[in-house]
Structure 1
Amino acid sequence: MQDPRIIPAATATPAALSTQNPYLDWLGVKFAVWREDYAEMHLRLQPNVTNRSGRVHGGVLCSLLDAVAGYSGCYAPAGEPLIHSVTLSLTTQFLDSGDGTWMIASGRPEKRGRTVFFARSEVWLDGEILLASASGTFKYIRMRG
C-alpha cells in the first residue's frame, strides 16, 4: 500500500510536484513528501546546477537547504489556510561533493514558537553521500494582499 504522505505516481503531475515557488520551480526542484513536521524535495543533478568545476554549486545546495527547512515548518492540511515564512538565519556546512543523479533534501522543524521556528535540513546525493547540512531560524509571516 502506498504511504499516504507521499505523492503517488498516478497523481505526480507537474502541478502536484510543484513547490508553488517560481525560483524553485525554475531550478527544477520537485516535492517528494510534505507533511506535518517533514518536507522532502528532489533535484536532478544536471550541468545547469554545477559550478565551473562540475560539482554542485554551493548556492544550489543553500537554496535546497533553506527551502526544505522552511517548508518543513509551514505544512497546512488541505482546506486549511496556507502558512508562509521567511528565513532569518541559515547556518550551512558543506560536507562533500560527489557524482550522482539525484539530490534529496529533507527538513524537519526542531522547535516552534508563536512567531518563529527552528529547523534542520540535509542534502544527500542519491541517498548515499551527505553533501551539506544546515540549521535555520524562520519567521512566520502574513501574506500581503
Structure 2
Amino acid sequence: MTDFPPIADSPLNRLLGVEIVSCDPETGHVKCTFNISEDLNNLQGIIHGGIVATMLDQLCGVALAYKREKFKTPEQVTLDLNVRFMRPVAAGPLWGIGQVERMGRTIGFVESMLYDDQDRLLAKATTSFKILS
C-alpha cells in the first residue's frame, strides 16, 4: 500500500464518520472505517437500509476516485447500485472495502463489502459510475 491523501471533507463523510485505513490507487482497492450513530437507526433499532447502501456507495466511490487520482472533486456519479443485505447492521464501528473491478474512459465498475467489528459480512454491493471528466 502507498501513501494517500485524506478523504474529502464533506458533510456526508462527517455524518458517516468515514476514515480511510488503507488505499492502493494502482489497484483501486480501499479500506475504510465508519462510526455510525444510533441516530441513523430505523424503528426496529438497526441502521436504516438506505444508510447501509450509502456506506457501500461511498466505499465504491472512494475506490474509483482514488484510482482516478481525483481526491477532492471526483467528477463521477453513480449510475446504479445493487445492494445485498446479509445481516442487520447495528450502530457503532464498522469497516468496509471497495474494489475497482474495471475502469474505462467513461464508466467504472466497482464492488464493496461492509463488515462489523467481529469481521462478519453485513452487506455487499456492485455499482457502476459515469465518469464525467
Query: TM-score scaled by structure 2?
Result: 0.81
Q: How many residues align?
A: 130
Q: Which whole-Å deviations, capped at 9, do the CAs of 1:56-107 have from their partners, x for residues lacking one?
A: 21111111100110111111559x9954310000000011015573111210
Q: 1:115, 1:139 within 8 Å by CA — same for their partners in 2?
A: yes
Task: Point out 4+ residue stretches in structure 1 off by more than 4 angstroms.
Answer: 3-7
Q: Residue 33 of structure 1 corresponds to which residue in structure 2?
A: 22
Higher relative contact order (CA 8 A, sep 6+): 2
Aligned CA distance change for structure 1 residues 49 and 41 (closer, same or farther; 3 Å): farther
Q: 1:6, 1:32 within 8 Å by CA — same for their partners in 2?
A: no
Cα RMSD for the two superposed structures: 2.7
Q: Residue 8 of structure 2 corresponds to which residue in structure 1?
A: 19
Aligned CA distance change for structure 1 residues 81 and 129 (closer, same or farther; 3 Å): closer
Q: What SS is found at the alignment partner of 2:12?
A: helix
Q: Residue 11 of structure 1 corresponds to which residue in structure 2?
A: none
Q: 1:89, 1:138 within 8 Å by CA — same for their partners in 2?
A: yes
Give distance in 2, aligned partners of 1:60 and 1:19. 19
Unaligned runs of 5+ residues in structure 2 are: none
Instruction: Report deviation, 1:30.
Output: 2.4
Give distance in 1, aligned partners of 2:112 and 2:44. 25
- Identity of matched residues, %: 25
Q: 1:19, 1:30 within 8 Å by CA — same for their partners in 2?
A: no
Unaligned runs of 5+ residues in structure 1 are: 8-15
